[in-house]
């Protein structure tokens, strides 16, 4: 019974290829073998000897109940066994249950159960199609699309037509288009499309009217794959009869075919129709036209089409996809020359408006295509040829090369190109400058970053803060305080850049951490000279730096400076906090400057800053364990009194 259902698929009158091998490979090995039946050696039984297979009503009810329970419990194998038994006895379950089992099998998204669902639908189409809901076919086709099962999907639709099971086009047609597009081949669709349209027209079945997407897919097959004018115009005629309105894509596909065949009159006719239909944008049409000319090697027409397009946009550029420019570049490089491409860019630049969006300029499109095709050397050759021809170079020609330099971290070349661009009076946008500086800093090419930033300043870009921070952050992470200091000194008076005490602190901290105290002090002096007020972090870095190299006298000098700035109320520009107090006390105790230590203690008490004495006890014991008051009494009475005061305060008198 099941074998007959599949074998009948091979007898379709509109099929140009045998379906049995395709279906057989799809169904093997788990459903039906489709093996050829060998002729028996004995005489076949006479018809009246065959006993018809029947089921009792009770047995049928039990099987239907088992089928329903198995679907609910997701027991797929038992559900399939019950459904198959009922079908073999031609005792089909109810319509609702029949469709439920097929939808269940389709929803499992595995090839084995899709085969089962496919076999069931084909059998029902042959034997009991009134039980089959159109929506069930839609579900199965979607599962076939997801499983990338193109041949069974087409076989199913052809079986529907063979058995005159006509359902709304949207339930199957658009799915077949998706399957074809997924597989990159529309050959199978064209045959089904033509049969569907024939039935729709002959039998006046409006629900079989194909969608525009399906019509364009069939047209794409005729124009791009078969390259047949007769077939393409037949599809267009069918669209007209069925009332399917073409769109830009429809005209674009025909434009490709006519360009390929060199039919200039047909192309002119298409242009008139596009205007008649009121399509505002001819980008799709021109792109397809160019593709056709490129394929047939008619490069003169490619150039003429591009120039015509620029004129029609009043110099505002062309909205071509990247693929169009890639085709143009490949076509010229294979059949033409670098010189022709350079000439084309030069001619379009004379037509394009100064206000054209860079990404829409032809020069940008061609050079960008070279870069994306991995032909940066060809882009340079076009660039050089344009210079040789004396053509003016627009910004669109430079940008793709700059982006390629960034990607390949050829930052020195990028910086030089930026200088050349600035010299021509052209101005890059902030994003491009930022990207170039980011690329330079990421590969530690600091000189290129400085060069680009300098060009950025000279170009009078108003927003410099982002690039400034990128450079300063990169230099900090790379531990290059000397470059930070030189850079900051160069741009400190630029009003477009917001510089604060924290910037100077970063440099001072980096110098101190590297043990370069003289550079740190020099930066500190420069900072105060430029009237940037030091804060707690400034002094903290200087204290820690001096402690590291045990230059405690310098810390005492810093304390004298801080002492002058700090008031008991803490209302001056510098506020003494617990971290600063701790740093001063530790360093001054280590250095033995107990008079200064007690001054810090007095200030901390005035400002109610908590001090942990234990830390300073340890510092004293580490450095001055053998220091005796009696020795100081003979040498310096003031130091002796300060030492006694400290020991009393720290609890070391005992």
> To the nearest whole percent, how much of the chain has pLDDT over 70?
87
How far apart, in whole angstroms, are the C-alpha atoms of residue 200 and residue 210? Answer: 9
Cis ω for the linkage preceding 469 (within 30 of 0) = no
CA neighbor of 36 nearest in space, from 1, 84, 3, 2: 3
Residue 638: what pLDDT? 63
The residue written with tokens 């089409």 in the block is 305
Report the Cα 268 to chain-centroid distance in Å.
Answer: 39
The residue written with tokens 């550029």 in the block is 317
> To the nearest whole percent, how much of the chain has pLDDT over 90?
55
Structure-block tokens of residue 618: 């340890």
Predicted TM-score of the model (pTM) = 0.73
Q: Dump the DSSP string for 102-121.
A: HHHHHHT--HHHHHHHHHHH
Please check the confidence at residue 48 and state whether its pLDDT lies above 60.
no
Binned at pLDDT 50, 70 and 90, residue 14 comes out as: very low
- Inter-residue contact 308 to 268 (CB < 8 Å): no
How far apart, in whole angstroms, are the C-alpha atoms of residue 346 and residue 394? Answer: 9
How far apart, in whole angstroms, are the C-alpha atoms of residue 20 and residue 3? Answer: 11
Q: 49-58, 163-172, 555-564: which range is least confident on average?
A: 49-58
- Inter-residue contact 543 to 553 (CB < 8 Å): no
Rounded average pLDDT over 303-326? 91
Cα angle value 211/212/217 (rounded, 5°): 100
- For 358-411, how does the pLDDT look when each residue is reduced to its tens digit (9 = 90+)? 889 999 999 999 999 999 989 989 988 998 988 888 888 899 999 999 888 899
Look at the chain and count its residues: 654
Please check the confidence at residue 42 and state whether its pLDDT lies above 50.
no
């Amino acid at each position: 019974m099941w074998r007959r259902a599949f074998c009948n698929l091979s007898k379709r009158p509109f099929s140009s290829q045998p379906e049995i091998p395709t279906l057989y490979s799809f169904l093997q090995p788990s459903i039906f073998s489709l093996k050829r039946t060998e002729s028996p050696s004995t005489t076949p039984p006479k018809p009246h000897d065959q006993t018809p297979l029947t089921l009792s009503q009770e047995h049928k009810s039990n099987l239907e109940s088992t089928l329903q329970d198995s679907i609910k419990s997701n027991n797929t194998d038992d559900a399939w066994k019950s459904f198959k038994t009922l079908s073999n006895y031609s005792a089909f379950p109810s319509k609702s249950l029949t469709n439920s089992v097929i939808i269940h099998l389709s929803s499992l998204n595995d090839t084995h159960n899709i085969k089962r669902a496919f076999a069931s639908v084909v059998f029902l189409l042959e034997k009991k199609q009134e039980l089959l809901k159109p929506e069930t076919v839609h579900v199965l086709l979607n599962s076939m699309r997801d499983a990338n099962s193109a041949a069974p999907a087409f076989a199913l639709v052809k079986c529907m037509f063979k058995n005159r099971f006509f359902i709304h086009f949207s339930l199957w047609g658009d799915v077949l288009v998706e399957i074809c597009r997924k597989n990159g081949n529309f050959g199978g669709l064209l045959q089904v499309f033509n049969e569907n349209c024939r039935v729709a027209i002959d039998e006046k079945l409006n629900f079989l009217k194909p969608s525009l997407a399906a019509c364009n897919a069939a047209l794409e097959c005729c124009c791009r794959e078969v390259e047949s004018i007769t077939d393409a115009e037949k599809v267009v005629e069918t669209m007209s009869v069925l009332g399917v309105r073409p769109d830009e894509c429809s005209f674009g596909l025909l434009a490709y075919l006519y360009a390929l065949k060199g039919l200039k009159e047909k192309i002119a006719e298409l242009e008139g129709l596009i205007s008649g239909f009121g399509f505002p944008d001819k980008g799709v049409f021109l792109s397809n036209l160019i593709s056709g000319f490129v394929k047939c090697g008619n490069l003169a027409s490619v150039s003429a089409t591009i120039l015509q397009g620029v004129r029609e946009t009043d110099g505002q550029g062309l909205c071509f996809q990247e693929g169009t420019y890639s085709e143009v570049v490949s076509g010229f490089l294979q059949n033409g020359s670098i010189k022709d491409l350079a000439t084309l860019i030069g001619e379009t630049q004379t037509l394009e408006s100064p206000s054209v969006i860079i990404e829409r300029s032809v020069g940008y499109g061609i050079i960008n295509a070279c870069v994306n095709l991995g032909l940066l050397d060809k882009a340079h050759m076009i660039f050089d040829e344009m210079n040789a021809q004396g053509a003016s170079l627009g910004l669109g020609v430079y940008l793709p090369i700059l982006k390629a330099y960034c990607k390949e971290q050829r930052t020195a070349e990028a910086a030089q190109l930026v200088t050349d661009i600035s010299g021509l009076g052209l101005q890059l946008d902030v994003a491009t400058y930022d990207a170039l500086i980011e690329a330079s800093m990421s590969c530690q090419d600091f000189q290129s970053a400085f060069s680009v930033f300098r060009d950025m300043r000279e170009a009078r870009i108003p927003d410099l803060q982002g690039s400034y921070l990128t450079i300063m952050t990169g230099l900090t992470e790379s531990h290059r305080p000397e470059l930070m200091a030189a850079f900051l000194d160069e741009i400190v008076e630029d009003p477009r850049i917001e510089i604060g005490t924290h910037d100077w602190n970063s440099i001072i901290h980096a110098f101190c951490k590297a043990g370069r105290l003289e550079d740190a002090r020099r930066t500190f002096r420069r900072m105060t000279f430029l009237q940037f007020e030091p804060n707690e972090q400034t002094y903290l870095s200087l204290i820690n730096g001096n402690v590291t190299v045990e230059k405690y006298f310098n810390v005492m000098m810093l304390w004298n400076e801080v002492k002058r700035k700090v008031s008991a109320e803490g209302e001056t520009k510098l506020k003494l906090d617990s971290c600063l107090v701790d740093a001063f006390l530790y360093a001054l105790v280590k250095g033995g400057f107990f008079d200064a230590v007690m001054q810090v203690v007095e200030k901390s008490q005035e400002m109610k800053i908590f001090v942990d004495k234990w830390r300073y006890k340890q510092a004293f014991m580490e450095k001055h364990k053998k220091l005796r008051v009696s020795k100081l009494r003979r040498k310096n009475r003031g130091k002796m009194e300060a030492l006694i005061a400290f020991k009393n305060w720290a609890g070391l008198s005992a």
